[in-house]
Structure 1
Amino acid sequence: MNRDIILSAVHNVSNAMKFMKNEELQEQYPIGLVDMNLWEWPQGVGLYGFYQYYELTKDEAALRFLLDWYDKRISEGLPEKNVNTCSPLIILISLCELTGNENYIKVCDEWSRWIMDDMIRTGDGALQHMITGDPNDGQILIDTLFMTVLFLTKAGVYFHRPEYVEEAKKQFLIHIKYLYDKRTKLFFHGWDFNGSHNYGAVHWGRGNGWYTCGIVDFLDMIDLEVGIKQYLLDTLCAQAGALAHLQTPDGMWHTVLNDPTSYVETSCTSAFGYGILKGVRKGYLDPSYKEVGLQALRATIGRIEKNGIVREVSYGTPVGMDAQFYKDIPISPMTYGQALALLILIEGLKA
């Protein structure tokens, strides 16, 4: 893959993200998912990708954008605490490490204590997937691992609180227990402890992607006991094998992974490609998977417009009761689509 093409895409995608606003669809939730200047999970994932851009380029303007974004949101007043609003904290704690800013440290300390002491737990002590305006009683989703547990892990390291790290390990294990499908080697989107079911038992693309890209970064954050690390990697390897068989000839994956009548979707493709390429580079996955990741990289680049907008990204997706629910989710440019594209592009430079 031509390095100059990838670098050009990195710059275009990161620049487009900074100015994203909702111009294409009527938001259906009590929060804004498209506008970059809000504190929610899509923006948090966006910042996660944008920080990787800063680490790659050391561009002072990129760092200033990040600092200004957090300063403005904190001065406006932060929203209610829940699983999804923890997402922007993953990068805020990186900025704590970088700057020593006392305001940033205070926010990360307060929110990490809240996760440990006050966030709602459901069956087996799993973090309940509470979101803005809805506690989602008894519900756990695969999304929680990326949105909350990665931050909790980093907070445990930063604040020297090993109990946070132990809780993070526990959450990964619980979510695998209830969401991993041994038959297909893919993840279900959610589990309901009240009804003891996996909702529609759908193998949703981006939900699976949260594990693929999240686990390779989780392993960068802490040293794990051999047994737990191998268990997490065995799960990744099994998932990667299933994904390799489901990849389309042009390198994409469907939004319902094992339903070829569902549309192909870029954010899950980028997430899978990133996790697979990084997994190969780190020695977690067999080198034979590299071509799977490179096909996803090429497919992602093919979905980036000249203005840097990543297309064919599905809108925010709650858990659904059948495959049709996921097939009906609209397509829209999203900050997390930009971010996940950045992750695979940057990893592609290392491949």
Structure 2
Amino acid sequence: MNKLKTIVIALLLTSFAYVLNAQENQADRIPEYEIPYELPSVENVKEVLNRIRMYYESTSLQHLIDSKTGEKISDFNTFNPNAVPSPGFSGEWSYTHGVVLSAFDYITKVTGDKTFFNNNTKFYEYVIENLPYFQNNSDKIKSSKIGNWGRILEFEALDDCGSITAAMIKTYLITKDDKYLEIINRTAEHISNNQFRLEDGTLARNRPQYKSVWADDMYMSVPFLINMGVLSGDKAYFDDAVKQVLQMADRLYIREKELFDHGWNVTSGDYDPRFYWGRANGWVLMSMAEVLSILPEDYQGRDKILHLYRSMVRSLANLQDGDGFWHNLLDKNDTYTETSCTAMFTFVIAKGINEGWISHVYGPVALTGWNALQTRVLENGAVDGTCEGTTFAHDNTYYYHRGKSIYATHGYGPVLYAGAEMIRLLQNNKIEIINTNFGSINSTFHFLLKSEWPEKK
């Protein structure tokens, strides 16, 4: 009898241990995500966008000051040689600010919330109202730059005018304020006729190497050209935009990688070293998205741009890190994960799905990109983790050690764009999104194209 009791107790203990072990193993098998692997809500996305907007609005007073005393200038009858625009991001005449203003225009179109677009009219009115003060006294200005308005009086590079004036065109198409046209037309003259180009017409720079082509310059020129074509009705701007994309690709697109090299120069030619910097590839894809959005589907060269777009998206899906970010050097996972390129890729992939340029199966790539980006937006709305301004370099050490901060303003516009496109994706009635099952061993997102499936009865 004692022996039977011992056997029963042993069996019970074994069964209990088995149950406990099974429970422990079950817990071990459930994935743990550092960044939530879940479907965001439209309300959550809007909250993030508004937080960024409010931070942006707080950064500048948008008036002229004496650079030595910091005092606001109120007497415009006598020119103050120390006059500069007040500091702060929202008062800059800069290409990064141009991306923000273009994004504000886009967010208002997507959501109907005019508080974003109101920043466009406020800024451009500030510029137009105060620019004559400097233009009329240009002979008294000692520097070629006017504070954070840079070379606004006389453009020297694409950075000086392309992006910020592309946003100005978008704003003009709504406000119809003819006072914008002087700057718009001056930018068209610079990009079309004054900016340095290679013999075949490709926009280029003589820095840092002789006859250099930068991937960045696609965004510094193409969005302006394509929108100038819309404004003017002159298809020559469309043709130049297409030419810039395709001829820059001839030198920078690396077919084996399906990515763009950051830069190329004539001296190195076919043997130029290759560095796949994240933001440079982001600028390229943002430019392509702008062109694809505007050009008629049968426009000559559009199909080639669409192919480049699709091939880059395919490569980027594979290069995305497990937390949803992309790396500063895309093919080197030991470089840090970077905010601006992650935002750009999130935007263009979501945009491609919404417009039907790429398959809906890329949906989870965009979604996890957005989930990652939200973690870089601080409580006060500042965007962190963005790589500082970066030259066209020729060594890994430089790219590996680029700084990153909330003051690298290249990340703000792309994150705003990404959020706007994520709202469109979440509201896309052509797609059914199957959410993850929290706590499941095997669960992922599935984006299904409704038209492919039989109607449910």
1:96 aligns to 2:172 (yes or no) = yes
Aligned to 2:380, which of 288, 301, 307?
Answer: 307
Deviations 1:248-285 (A, max 9, x none): 11100000001111110011001001100110111111
Three-state SS of the structure 2 residue aligned to 1:140 is strand
Instruction: Give the Å deviation of 1:185.
Output: 0.8
Query: TM-score scaled by structure 1?
Result: 0.90
Match of 2:186 in 1: 110
Cα gap change, 1:10/1:317 in structure 2, threshold over 3 Å: closer, same or farther? same
Match of 2:303 in 1: 230
Aligned to 1:295, which of 352, 357, 368?
Answer: 368
Kept in 2: contact 1:190–1:198 (CA 8 A): no
1:347 aligns to 2:401 (yes or no) = no
1:121 aligns to 2:197 (yes or no) = yes
1:9 aligns to 2:83 (yes or no) = no
1:18 aligns to 2:92 (yes or no) = no
The one-letter code matched in structure 1 to 2:413 is: A
1:177 aligns to 2:250 (yes or no) = yes
Taking the aligned partners of 1:164 and 1:179, their CA distance within structure 2 comes to 22
1:331 aligns to 2:370 (yes or no) = no
Kept in 2: contact 1:33–1:316 (CA 8 A): no
Within 5 A, what are the aligned runs for 1:24-173?
Answer: 35-74=89-128, 75-76=130-131, 77=134, 78-81=152-155, 82-85=157-160, 86-129=162-205, 137-173=210-246
Taking the aligned partners of 1:349 and 1:243, their CA distance within structure 2 comes to 22
Instruction: Give the Å deviation of 1:216.
Output: 1.7
Taking the aligned partners of 1:83 and 1:64, their CA distance within structure 2 comes to 26
Structure 1, unmatched stretches of 5+, are: 22-31
Cα gap change, 1:54/1:136 in structure 2, threshold over 3 Å: closer, same or farther? farther
Aligned to 1:187, which of 222, 235, 260?
Answer: 260
1:282 aligns to 2:340 (yes or no) = no
Kept in 2: contact 1:93–1:108 (CA 8 A): yes
- State the number of aligned residues: 338
Taking the aligned partners of 1:5 and 1:265, their CA distance within structure 2 comes to 22
Kept in 2: contact 1:270–1:296 (CA 8 A): yes
Cα gap change, 1:229/1:324 in structure 2, threshold over 3 Å: closer, same or farther? same
The one-letter code matched in structure 2 to 1:70 is: Y
Instruction: Give the Å deviation of 1:318.
Output: 1.1
Taking the aligned partners of 2:165 and 2:284, their CA distance within structure 1 comes to 18
Taking the aligned partners of 1:320 and 1:197, their CA distance within structure 2 comes to 17
The one-letter code matched in structure 1 to 2:288 is: I
The one-letter code matched in structure 2 to 1:84 is: D
Taking the aligned partners of 1:43 and 1:199, their CA distance within structure 2 comes to 32
Cα gap change, 1:326/1:33 in structure 2, threshold over 3 Å: closer, same or farther? farther
Taking the aligned partners of 1:91 and 1:118, their CA distance within structure 2 comes to 21
Taking the aligned partners of 1:198 and 1:19, their CA distance within structure 2 comes to 47
Instruction: Give the Å deviation of 1:60.
Output: 4.5
Taking the aligned partners of 1:231 and 1:148, their CA distance within structure 2 comes to 19
Within 5 A, what are the aligned runs for 1:236-251?
Answer: 236-251=309-324
Query: TM-score scaled by structure 2?
Result: 0.70
The one-letter code matched in structure 2 to 1:71 is: E
Structure 2, unmatched stretches of 5+, are: 1-39, 61-85, 135-151, 426-457
Kept in 2: contact 1:189–1:319 (CA 8 A): yes
1:318 aligns to 2:398 (yes or no) = no
Kept in 2: contact 1:14–1:53 (CA 8 A): no
Instruction: Give the Å deviation of 1:199.
Output: 5.1
Instruction: Give the Å deviation of 1:330.
Output: 0.8
Instruction: Give the Å deviation of 1:122.
Output: 1.5
Cα gap change, 1:197/1:329 in structure 2, threshold over 3 Å: closer, same or farther? farther
Taking the aligned partners of 2:238 and 2:209, their CA distance within structure 1 comes to 25
Taking the aligned partners of 1:226 and 1:107, their CA distance within structure 2 comes to 29
Taking the aligned partners of 2:238 and 2:247, their CA distance within structure 1 comes to 14
Kept in 1: contact 2:165–2:224 (CA 8 A): yes
Three-state SS of the structure 1 residue aligned to 2:90 is coil
| Structure with more relative contact order (C-alpha pairs < 8 Å, separation 6 or more) | 1
Three-state SS of the structure 1 residue aligned to 2:404 is coil
Deviations 1:53-90 (A, max 9, x none): 33344444444422221222342352432211221011
Three-state SS of the structure 2 residue aligned to 1:128 is coil
Identity of aligned residues (%): 25
Kept in 1: contact 2:101–2:117 (CA 8 A): no
Cα gap change, 1:231/1:60 in structure 2, threshold over 3 Å: closer, same or farther? closer
Kept in 2: contact 1:313–1:332 (CA 8 A): yes
> Which protein is bigger by CA-based radius of gyration?
2
Deviations 1:163-202 (A, max 9, x none): 1111111111101111101111111011112332675410
Match of 2:285 in 1: 212
Kept in 1: contact 2:264–2:272 (CA 8 A): yes
Taking the aligned partners of 1:41 and 1:114, their CA distance within structure 2 comes to 15
Kept in 2: contact 1:270–1:300 (CA 8 A): yes
Kept in 1: contact 2:353–2:359 (CA 8 A): yes
Cα gap change, 1:198/1:208 in structure 2, threshold over 3 Å: closer, same or farther? farther
